[in-house]
Amino acid sequence: MKLTHIVSPEDEGLTLHQLLRGPMALSGRETRNVKAQGAVTVDDAPFFSNQKVSAGMIVRVMLNDYDAALQAPSCAAPVSVLYEDDALIAVRKPALVQCHPSPSAPGGSDTLESRVSNYLGMSVHPVHRLDRETTGIVLFARLPYVQAHLQRQMADGSFKKVYRAWVFGVPSPLSGEICAPIRRETPDSFTRIVAEDGQRAISRYTVIQTLLLKEGQAVSLLELSPVTGRTHQLRVHMTHIGCPLLGDTRYFSEASSRLSASLSLSYHQLSAVSLSFIHPITGRPMQLSCHADFSFDPANACASP
Other CB atoms within 10 Å distance of the CB of residue 303? 11
d(CA 6, CA 43): 10
Our measurement of the distance from residue 304's CA atom to the centroid of its chain's CA atoms, rounded to an integer in Å, reads 38
Using H for helix, E for strand and C for coil, what is the string for 150-183? HHHHHHHCCCEEEEEEEEECCCCCCEEEEECCEE
Tell me the one-letter amino acid at 112.
L
d(CA 99, CA 271): 14
Other CB atoms within 10 Å distance of the CB of residue 180? 18
Tell me the one-letter amino acid at 265.
L
Torsion angle (degrees, nearest 10) of CA 261, 266, 270, 272:
-160
Spot the catalytic one: 11, 131, 248, 293: 131
Mention every residue, 6+ apart, whose C-beta is less than 8 A from residue 41.
47, 59, 60
* H or E stretch covering 234: helix 233-240
Does the annotation mark 86 as catalytic?
no
Provide the annotated active-site residues. Answer: 131
